[in-house]
Amino acid sequence: MVLWIFGALFCGNFLLISLFATENVYDEYKFVEITARHKRDLQLLSQLYTEDNVDFVRKARSIGQKAVIFANPSDFSIISQKLQNAGANFESKDVSFDTNDREKRSIATAPLQYQQKTMKTGTMSNYTLDEYHDLSEQMAFIESIAQRNPSFVKMGTMGKSFQGKSIQYLKIGYPINQTKPIFFIDAGIHAREWIAPAVALWITNELTNSTKYASLLRQIDIIIAPNLNPDGYTHTRKGYRMWRKNLTPQPNQCFGVDLNRNFPFYYGFSGTESNSCSEIYKGPKAASEPETQALKNFLDNNKQQIKAYITLHSYGQNWVYPWGYAVKTYPPDVQDLIDLGNAAQKAIAQVRGTQYSVENSADGMYPAAGASDDYAKSLGIKYVYTVELAPSEDDLRYDFNLPANQILSTSTEKSRGISLQGFIAFALVAILILVNTGFQIADHVYLRDNLKKSDSPSNPSTQPNNLETPTTGFNGLPNVTSAPPTTCQPPPLPKCENTCEFYLCESIPDGMNLDKPNNSTTQCWLKLLDLAKNNVKIGSYYWTLLKEDDKDLPANFSDPNNSAQDGKDVYDGIIATAKRNIQVQIAQNLDLSLSSTMTYEATDMEKLSSNIKVRSLDFSKLLGAGFLLFKNLIIFGIIHTKSWSIDSTHFYVGSANFDWRSLRQVKELGILGVNCPCIAQDVEKILDTYWDLGLPDAKVPTTWPESRWVPARHGNPYTVPQPQTDLDVYISSAPPDFNACGRENDIDAMVKVIDESTSFVHLAVMDYIPATLYLKSNYYYSALDDAIRRAAFRGVKVKFMMSKWSHTSFQFFGYLHSMASLNGSLPCTWAVQYTTCKPGTQGEIEVRIFEIPPDGDITDKVYARVQHNKYFVTESTLYIGTSNWSADYWLNTAGIGVIVRADNAQETAKIVRQTQDVFMRDWDSEYATDISHYDNRGNRIDPTATL
């Protein structure tokens, strides 16, 4: 299925000849069959695939299987010599496709059999479904279906091929002009995979000629595009049976682009080639081909309605789900894809006993970046699959050349599965449904059962405008937004005082064997209260500083080390501060859960002193979006900030919640600024924004008043004088809707800091996923993930550390394995879509998992004993934030980030060095373990064990 390795001159001459030759073009070609007898044979085949660019029509994935290579005359001698040198067991067979006597050839001697009929103009009465047909016959057939059934079938054109052929589709549904959920099927993107268009046409005929689908077609529309590559398919019908690509001419006289490597999602990442003579040539740029553009535009324009997408290919009998751009990389809703794939597998087996495997595209087959299925999934389409049709990989009689007499059996298998998929499309917008196979499918909701202390943002709408897949650049990767908005002029930078002192504030759980060079979070918070003279402003998620206020603890819970004392000290300190006639202003999240006491503690403090005022932010009104989740409860975004501003002079921003556990039983990191009016006033504007939005009838304004505008951002930071070297500092914030003129969006700040790194970037966080995590429908959002990979492509050394506890989602580990798999294997040819790539660079991306052991009754099951940090540090810059790293936090949850770097590029600020030391202490500790010791679901494994 893969590559031809021709010399450039030979490739160009051969392909120019092949486009105009008439017969026997493969007479000197060879099929090379290799039996994988040993592990070294599999390694050799992998090398031929990845390094020598040969065209595999069959791959051996385990010992005992046969691989088949389609070799041109030039390559055959090279390949056979390599196989001989390696002691491989192989044999070669001549390839001869007789295109002039097709109907006379038997299946035994010619697995390429197809029958060609001459049709009468304007009639399709003699169109038979058990034959392979020319493109003109296929298009005439679907046109006749549309003409016969105008009430529920409509023919349309997606676009044109390079040669000007129309890319047609049929829309099938009652009534034809009503907008309904769409189930989309396409076929034929690879020209030589003849069975795919044949099956698509069989499905079309079945849906339009049987009343048993009438009820289904009143609920959904089914759109079928039977041939996405009309130029290439026509070429295969002229005798060039193994042609795969389209027919666009390339600069070096080779022809064609692999359309299924040309889509703008992780374009060129892996499993593609820049050599235009290759069978998997990705094209000169993303979406360069008119055929790609046609499908891309159709999906873009209909992504809200498309609930399921299947692209038909051959061969292998596989039901394949994304992602395909890298191994061990999965969408957040991968279990839903597996469940539905298994249901389809069962349905297919019930028809004729045919077995289809359900597997990930890259893991089960091979990485293939820029494919249509990955692109469709990146748009937020729920159920996306590539279906590799018959024959199976174990059927050695055929490959792409399935006999025409097997079309109907293959189609019957697929129609059974397709019917199931159609019902699922309906289920997504209606109710739980029992499909005709008796398999019940539910639409899963990815939200943890307990929102209180899992640090999970509540859910916004299933389809909010700001949660679509971000706008993509030329390479299909999300663009970061620019700040400030062009419609405002931020105020000028003030001159900052030379009195500012920065401190790290750490919570290290009791019993951990870690040095403690920094102030504790408790010490930092109590210092702020001691410094207060006029007012204390706090932004918070929830409040359980007192252990007795926590109703979720078991009745027999014990705390022998009295670790809850720090929480009581802070609680008492706030009350004492208020009694000193100091105003305490608390903005917190409105707790919508039915049993939690998240907001009660703060409001109880309000009753103890008239100087304490509390407001709770109702995100259901502020963002205007939500959906029914469970127990008749509507869940929305949250305020996830943990920040202080004291007298417009001192500030704190960090990961620690106002929870007794966060002070002695959860690992936290924050930054304290003392005598820093410039920065404190900036933070205060965010806290005042929360305060204003806590009013009962508050609304997020279209334009924020100038009192909320800020001068400092990336590229224009505050300059804070320090004894050794001045510091550049600015504050970022989320969600974007809360940000006034001049404010840097939190995710943009993170990406820009990483993009500026030159030596290393060290990252530590509790949760990480390049997608939305808490939505009913998941959206891919890879801005931070792409920045990390870009850094590696530049030669920057990356260390990434994520927490694991009982509330960690298994979804995180696939992405981390994908990141770790790039370690030491990043040739620049993989990174052509990035702006810079250091030639010869071997990327260094290490990933470790940080686990904290229990402390008696205090375990992670009571929402303790976890690394809760949200920070990263480069050779020059630190970022400390309040949000976990998923799209939900950056786009519709309130959070704050602090960015600090030395003004002099030759110096490293003390606070930055201290942050570097904290990371390396944890990285080298007994609590950090390499990702290779965990499987894709986060289970501990022995990486040395034989699979």
Q: What is the pTM of this model?
A: 0.57
Model confidence pLDDT, tens digit, residues 239-277: 788 889 999 998 777 899 999 999 988 888 888 888 888
pLDDT band per the 50, 70, 90 thresholds, residue 136: very high
Predicted pLDDT at 778: 60
Is the pLDDT at 451 greater than 70, yes or no?
no
In the chain, which residues fall in CATH 3.30.70.340? 26-96
d(CA 273, CA 250): 14
Find residue 167's DSSP bridge partners. 159
Over residues 615-642, mean pLDDT: 63
- Tokens of residue 432, six digits: 């739980």
Predicted pLDDT at 675: 98
pLDDT band per the 50, 70, 90 thresholds, residue 393: low
Predicted pLDDT at 126: 67
- The CA–CA distances, whole Å, from 117 to 131, 133, 137, 685 equal 9, 8, 9, 76
Over residues 134-150, mean pLDDT: 94
Predicted pLDDT at 148: 92
Predicted pLDDT at 870: 98
Sign of CA dihedral 210, 212, 216, 217: positive
User: Strand 182-187 vs strand 306-316: parallel, antiparallel, or unpaired?
Assistant: parallel
d(CA 100, CA 22): 10
Bigger pLDDT: 97 vs 597: 597
Is the pLDDT at 97 greater than 60, yes or no?
no
Buried b (16+ CB within 10 A) or exposed e, 691-701: bbbbeeeeeee
pLDDT band per the 50, 70, 90 thresholds, residue 30: confident
Predicted pLDDT at 815: 86
User: Strand 643-646 vs strand 633-635: parallel, antiparallel, or unpaired?
Assistant: unpaired
Predicted pLDDT at 442: 23
- The CA–CA distances, whole Å, from 310 to 228, 305, 313, 750 equal 13, 15, 10, 36
d(CA 266, CA 789): 11
Is the pLDDT at 637 greater than 60, yes or no?
yes
Of 85-94, 186-195, 417-426, give the range with the top mean pLDDT: 186-195
d(CA 913, CA 464): 41
Model confidence pLDDT, tens digit, residues 526-573: 999 999 999 999 999 999 999 988 877 887 888 888 999 999 999 999
pLDDT band per the 50, 70, 90 thresholds, residue 508: very high
d(CA 153, CA 146): 5
Predicted pLDDT at 218: 83
Model confidence pLDDT, tens digit, residues 640-686: 999 999 999 999 999 999 999 999 999 999 999 999 999 999 999 99
For the domain 26-96, what is the CATH superfamily, name and number? Metallocarboxypeptidase-like (3.30.70.340)
For the domain 467-933, what is the CATH superfamily, name and number? Endonuclease Chain A (3.30.870.10)
CB 152, CB 218: distance < 8 Å:
no
Predicted pLDDT at 420: 34
- Tokens of residue 641, six digits: 């900030």
Helix (H) or strand (E) holding 588: strand 583-589
Is the pLDDT at 375 greater than 90, yes or no?
yes
Model confidence pLDDT, tens digit, residues 726-757: 999 999 999 999 999 999 999 999 999 999 99
Residues known to be catalytic: 388
Is the pLDDT at 628 greater than 50, yes or no?
no
Model confidence pLDDT, tens digit, residues 457-492: 332 222 222 222 233 322 232 333 333 344 588 899
Is the pLDDT at 718 greater than 90, yes or no?
yes
d(CA 592, CA 569): 28
Model confidence pLDDT, tens digit, residues 859-885: 887 889 999 999 999 999 999 999 999
Over residues 717-722, mean pLDDT: 94
**Residue 478's closest CA among 811, 790, 702?**
790
- Tokens of residue 208, six digits: 């339009």
Predicted pLDDT at 905: 64
- DSSP H helical segments within 128-187, as ranges? 135-148
Predicted pLDDT at 26: 64
Predicted pLDDT at 777: 53
3-state secondary structure of 605: helix
Bigger pLDDT: 810 vs 534: 534
d(CA 153, CA 159): 19
- List all residues 6 or more positions away from 41 whose beta carbon is below 8 Å from its beta carbon: 34, 35, 60, 63, 86, 88, 89
Return the number of other C-beta atoms located less than 10 Å from residue 485's C-beta: 16
Question: On the CB side of 801, how many CA atoms lie within 13 Å of its CA?
Answer: 26
Residue tagged 């949000």 (tokens): 883
- Tokens of residue 70, six digits: 């389609």
In angstroms, how far apart are the furthest CA atoms of the chain? 101
**Residue 729's closest CA among 567, 923, 898?**
898
Return the number of other C-beta atoms located less than 10 Å from residue 474's C-beta: 12
Predicted pLDDT at 484: 38
- List all residues 6 or more positions away from 395 whose beta carbon is below 8 Å from its beta carbon: none
Tell me yes or no: is domain 135-242+264-269+287-441 CATH 3.40.630.10: yes
Phi, psi of 187 (to 5 degrees): -155, 165
Find residue 319's DSSP bridge partners. 358, 387
Over residues 138-151, mean pLDDT: 93
Average pLDDT, the chain: 78
Bigger pLDDT: 310 vs 451: 310
In the chain, which residues fall in CATH 3.30.870.10? 467-933
Predicted pLDDT at 210: 72
Is the pLDDT at 576 greater than 90, yes or no?
yes
Bigger pLDDT: 160 vs 315: 160
Is the pLDDT at 10 greater than 60, yes or no?
no
Share of the chain above pLDDT 90, in %: 44
Residue tagged 């940080």 (tokens): 850
pLDDT band per the 50, 70, 90 thresholds, residue 189: very high
In the chain, which residues fall in CATH 3.40.630.10? 135-242+264-269+287-441
Number of DSSP helices (H) and strands (E) in the chain, helices first: 23, 36
Over residues 59-75, mean pLDDT: 73
Over residues 87-99, mean pLDDT: 68
**Residue 806's closest CA among 864, 763, 857, 856?**
864
d(CA 131, CA 124): 14
pLDDT band per the 50, 70, 90 thresholds, residue 443: very low
